[in-house]
């Protein structure tokens, strides 16, 4: 990066282009903000969530993506719920299974939750 009368000159081998300082400053500020956000996110992720909190986050995220029409993200969250649901059952938290089933409202896509409730003698909670 070099300087040319109020502009930064950047580019790769054989390529040089002028970029206004404002853009360079804004880009640097964005990068600093993003690094700070990642540091905060790492701290949050490193803390274990309770199963109830995790379940609520899955439900809330599913409903948001479903409302936004992002079917791929919604399906991804249902897949994650399917991975986590057996843990909820093994840990004696059948109410979380009911919360996933009723909270997501994707009854056709979550029939497997009904099977899990039946296997763990908790179907009556519905």
Per-residue three-class SS string for 22-77: HHHHHHHHHHHHHHHHHHHHHHHHHCCCCHHHHHHHHHHHHHHHHHHCCHHHHHHH
Q: What is the pTM of this model?
A: 0.60
Question: What pLDDT, in 10s, does the model give residues 6-21?
Answer: 444 455 455 555 555 5
| Rounded Cα gap, residues 77 and 115, in angstroms | 19
Question: What pLDDT, in 10s, does the model give residues 38-66?
Answer: 776 666 555 677 899 989 988 999 899 89
pLDDT recorded at residue 6: 46
| Rounded Cα gap, residues 52 and 49, in angstroms | 8
């Amino acid at each position: 990066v070099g300087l040319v009368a109020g502009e930064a000159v950047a580019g790769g081998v054989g390529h040089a282009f002028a970029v206004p300082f404002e853009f360079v400053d804004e880009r640097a500020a964005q990068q600093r903000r993003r690094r700070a956000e990642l540091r905060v996110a790492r701290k949050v992720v490193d803390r274990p969530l309770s199963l109830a909190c995790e379940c609520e986050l899955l439900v809330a995220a599913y409903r948001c993506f479903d409302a936004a029409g992002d079917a791929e993200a919604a399906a991804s969250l249902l897949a994650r719920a399917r991975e986590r649901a057996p843990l909820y059952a093994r840990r004696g938290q059948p109410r979380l299974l009911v919360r996933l089933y009723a909270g997501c409202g994707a009854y056709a896509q979550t029939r497997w939750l009904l099977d899990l409730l039946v296997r763990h003698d908790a179907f009556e909670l519905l």
